Amino acid sequence: MTDNEQHLSSERKYPALYEKLVTIALGVILVAIVVLLIAAATVALGLFSGK
């Protein structure tokens, strides 16, 4: 992040509720991507063949 961007982001704020929600959502989405990739890999490798 450049100095200019740091300066801007320190001045600009979303409403308080969104500040928290967006952070949580980003975290959940990233975790979901990792979990999904692991699940897809295990299915593709045949570790879980299903019934």
Q: Site residues (CB under 8 A) for other proteins?
A: 1, 5, 8-9, 11-15, 18, 22-23, 25-26, 29-30, 32-33, 36-37, 39-40, 43-44, 48-51
Nearest CB to other proteins, comparing residues 1 and 3: 1
Find tokens 């952070």 and name the residue: 23
Shortest Cβ distance from residue 3 to other proteins (Å)?
14
Query: How many other CB atoms are there within 10 angstroms of residue 27's CB atom?
Result: 10
50: alpha, beta or left? (left if phi > 0; alpha if psi -120 to 50): left
Tell me the residue type at 25. A
Nearest CB to other proteins, comparing residues 3 and 15: 15
